[in-house]
Amino acid sequence: MLPWRTIIEIEKECDVPVYLQIANSIIQEMKKGRIGPGIKLPGTRQMSEMLEVHRKTLVRAYEELDAQGWIEMRPSKGTFTIKALPEINPRRFYMKTEKRNSFPATTGYSVKINNNIRTPVFTYRNITGFHDGPDVRLMPVKELGRSYKSILSRTVNLRYLSYVETAGVQKFREVLSEYLNSSRGLQTSFENIMITRGSQFGLYLITCVLFSNGQNIIVGEPNYYYADRCFQNAGMRLIRVRVDDMGIDVDAIEKICRKKKIRAVYITSHHHYPTTVTLIASRRIKLLELSEKYGFIIIEDDYDYDFHYLSSPILPLISADQKGMIIYVGTLSKTIAPAIRTGYVVAPPNLLLELTRLRQLMDTQGDPIMELALAEMFSDGEIRRHMKKALHEYHRRRDFVCNLLTQQLSSFIEFRIPDGGLAIWAKFNKDIPLPALTEKLRPQGLILSNGLIHNSGSVSLNSTRMGFAWMNEKEAEIAVGKLIKTIKEKF
């Protein structure tokens, strides 16, 4: 008999379960040849006594070896190592001399460079800065992890692991529909909701299905960078309309409509991006009327409706749309986490059907396990509770940062205190050019966007979004301190 006690190493303190350690040891020895092919293994009782482990552990180890194809169990004869090792020997189909030594450095065909979209710049947000987004430390990630694991562990959910509804799991769409109806005054059913990978995915799908080369779309001046690029990528002509203290200038939109065929108007009604201005009621009513009169589609991107600090958000335009002119786009990415890309499109079913048709060619479907986990977190109140807490904290942070800036930087920047959202729209004095300033801040470990993506024409706004939600009070104090010092010393 082989010296099993020596061959099989068991570390009781190790993370790997003991049965797997036993199975892995036997596999290693079979690969090395110390345990030959066709050898009879001791029975589980005998082996468990030798190794001083529970017999059940041995049964599991043998089952593992059998499942992986290393042993054969012959009824009433015993357990034998298999005759041919289940190792894989891939076949090369070319001469070895032909083989290259490294991966080709570049394509053998030409690839058109798309200068229209900037190269992804990524900064892990583990440094201080006026990042425009929620604080990852306040996110309900433990709850999400627990919920995700729990959904995966229930046998009844196995059916969601294969192919599911392209528009998203019905249960989640139902929960979301209820949430949108109660928080935004809508009258949707789940059939009006499509789940997307963040709101950007919704914009992209809408653009592909509804828009074509050469059509006109009205956007704000300035406007959300990635929305502009999305429309331009489809060949649309952007017509820019001024945004003032009351939101986008609807009279200007009317004038354009009298002269040109307009396919759509893109708005960020609750807090205009990037300026944070709320579109006032009278303009909302007029915009809806114009939409019906001139037949243009309104894309209402309500990316931060849930972040408002006056306890009286203004209902979205779609709550009053009787003719189906509005497509409403929203996101949970800022509520849960930007990396958990979960957004939605609200629209009549005939549009959603076409969006799902196209979606099959893109990513086939969403992540049903995540959708079920989020549905559960909505149903048991976890998400609402989290939102309330986060909102309360961001409200504090907004006040804190705005106070600091007003007290110490009012001669260098201009800004209004935003009613909601996670950032301030700040205009810097001309003699403090943002690109130069941000370059001086970066070596100090302080991130501030240089604001260049907000310039739609050749005129520099010298303005940027300064996120206040990302930092706690102490961090904000340090960040504002560095900003002031740098401005005073260098400009």
For a second copy, the closer of residues 409 and 469 by Cβ is 469
For a second copy, the closer of residues 430 and 474 by Cβ is 474
Task: Kindly state the smallest distance separating residue 408's Cβ from a second copy, in Å.
Answer: 26
Asked if the peptide bond before residue 90 counts as cis, ω within 30 degrees of 0, the response is no
Task: Kindly state the smallest distance separating residue 126's Cβ from a second copy, in Å.
Answer: 4
Number of residues written out for the chain? 491
Question: Nearest Cα to 327, choosing from 290, 366, 361, 296?
Answer: 296
Task: Kindly state the smallest distance separating residue 143's Cβ from a second copy, in Å.
Answer: 9
For a second copy, the closer of residues 218 and 413 by Cβ is 218
| Tokens matching residue 491 | 């400009």
For a second copy, the closer of residues 93 and 443 by Cβ is 93
Task: Kindly state the smallest distance separating residue 358's Cβ from a second copy, in Å.
Answer: 7
Task: Kindly state the smallest distance separating residue 46's Cβ from a second copy, in Å.
Answer: 25
Query: Kind and range of the H or E element at 219?
Result: strand 216-221
Q: Indicate the SS3 state at residue 265.
A: strand
For a second copy, the closer of residues 1 and 158 by Cβ is 158
List C-alpha distances in Å: 148 to 136, 372, 480: 18, 8, 38
For a second copy, the closer of residues 283 and 405 by Cβ is 283
CA distance 247 to 267: 9
Task: Kindly state the smallest distance separating residue 52's Cβ from a second copy, in Å.
Answer: 25
Is residue 171 within 8 A of residue 376, CB to CB? The reply is: no
| Tokens matching residue 209 | 């299905």
List C-alpha distances in Å: 127 to 314, 396, 470: 35, 21, 10
Strands (E), 379-422: 413-414
Start-to-end CA span in the chain (Å): 84
